[in-house]
Amino acid sequence: GSWEETFKTHTDTKPNGPASVGLDFSLPGFEHVYGIPEHAESLRLRTTEGGDPYRLYNLDVFQYELYNPMALYGSVPLLLAHSARRTLGIFWLNAAETWVDISSNTAGKTLFGKLLDYMQGGGETPQTDVRWMSESGIVDVFLLLGPAPAAVTGQYAALTGTQALPPLFALGYHQSRWNYNDEEDVAAVERGFEEHAVPCDVLWLDIEHADGKRYFTWDPSKFPRPRAMLERLAAKKRKMVSIVDPHIKVDSGYRVHNELRSRGFYVKTKDGSDYEGWCWPGSAAYPDFTNPEMRAWWASMFAYDQYEVRSPPGGERGPPASPSAPPGGPEVTMHKDAVHHGGWEHRDLHNLYGLYVQMATAEGQIQRSGGQHRPFVLSRAFFAGSQRYGAVWTGDNTAEWEHLKISIPMCLSFGLAGLSFCGADVGGFFKNPEAELLVRWYQAGAFQPFFRAHAHLDTARREPWLFGEENAALIRAAVRQRYALLPYWYTAFYHSHRHGVPVMRPLWMEYPEDTATFAIDDQYMIDRALLVHPVTEQGARGVQVYLPGKGEVWYDVTSHQKHHAPQTLYVPVTISSVPVFQRGGTVVPRQERVRRST
Whether residue 216 sits in one domain with residue 126: no
pLDDT band at 226 (very low <50, low <70, confident <90, very high): very high
Whether residue 212 sits in one domain with residue 133: no
Answer yes or no: is 230 within a domain.
no
Query: What whole-number percentage of the chain has pLDDT above 90?
Result: 90
Decide which of 160, 178, 194 is a domain's last residue.
160
User: Does residue 321 carry a pLDDT above 50?
Assistant: no
Q: What's the sign of the alpha-carbon dihedral 252, 255, 261, 265?
A: negative
The CATH number of whichever domain residue 510 belongs to comes to 2.60.40.1180
pLDDT band at 7 (very low <50, low <70, confident <90, very high): confident
Whether residue 99 sits in one domain with residue 15: yes
pLDDT recorded at residue 113: 73
pLDDT recorded at residue 119: 75
Whether residue 272 sits in one domain with residue 151: no
Answer yes or no: is 430 within a domain.
no
User: Does residue 204 carry a pLDDT above 80?
Assistant: yes
Q: Specify the DSSP class assigned to residue 65.
A: P
User: Does residue 539 carry a pLDDT above 60?
Assistant: yes
Whether residue 214 sits in one domain with residue 145: no
User: Does residue 25 carry a pLDDT above 90?
Assistant: yes
Whether residue 257 sits in one domain with residue 133: no
* Number of domains composing the chain: 3
Mean pLDDT of the chain: 94
Q: Are the CB atoms for 500 and 153 separated by under 8 Å?
A: yes
Task: Decide: helix, strand or coil at residue 219.
Answer: coil
Whether residue 214 sits in one domain with residue 132: no
H or E element, residue 412? helix 401-416
pLDDT recorded at residue 330: 59
pLDDT recorded at residue 378: 97
Whether residue 136 sits in one domain with residue 34: yes
Whether residue 148 sits in one domain with residue 27: yes
Whether residue 355 sits in one domain with residue 287: yes
Answer yes or no: is 438 within a domain.
no
H or E element, residue 402? helix 401-416
Whether residue 365 sits in one domain with residue 284: yes
- Higher confidence at residue 106 or residue 203? 203
Decide which of 160, 179, 197 is a domain's last residue.
160
Give the CA count within 13 Å in the CB-facing half-sphere of 535.
24
Burial of 530 per CB tally in 10 Å (0-12, 13-18, 19+): buried
pLDDT recorded at residue 116: 73
Whether residue 133 sits in one domain with residue 68: yes
Q: Report the predicted TM-score, pTM, of the whole model to 2 decimal places.
A: 0.96
User: CA–CA separation, 349 vs 436, rounded Å?
Assistant: 43
Q: List Cβ neighbours of 125 (8 Å cut-off, separation of 6 or more).
A: 28, 29
Decide which of 371, 386, 402 is a domain's last residue.
371
Answer yes or no: is 251 within a domain.
yes
Answer yes or no: is 320 within a domain.
no
Range of the structural domain that residue 104 is part of: 5-160
pLDDT recorded at residue 415: 98
Digit-coded pLDDT (tens) for 69-104: 999 999 999 999 999 999 999 999 999 999 999 999
Digit-coded pLDDT (tens) for 391-401: 999 999 999 99
Please list the helix, strand and coil fractions of the chain in percent, rounded to the nearest 5, in that order. Answer: 25, 20, 50
H or E element, residue 240? strand 239-242
The CATH number of whichever domain residue 129 belongs to comes to 2.60.40.1760
Q: List Cβ neighbours of 559 (8 Å cut-off, separation of 6 or more).
A: none
User: Does residue 262 carry a pLDDT above 80?
Assistant: yes
User: CA–CA separation, 190 vs 12, rounded Å?
Assistant: 49
Average pLDDT over residues 538-563: 98
In sequence order, what E strands does 410-556 have?
422-423, 451-453, 504-505, 524-526, 530-532, 542-547, 553-556
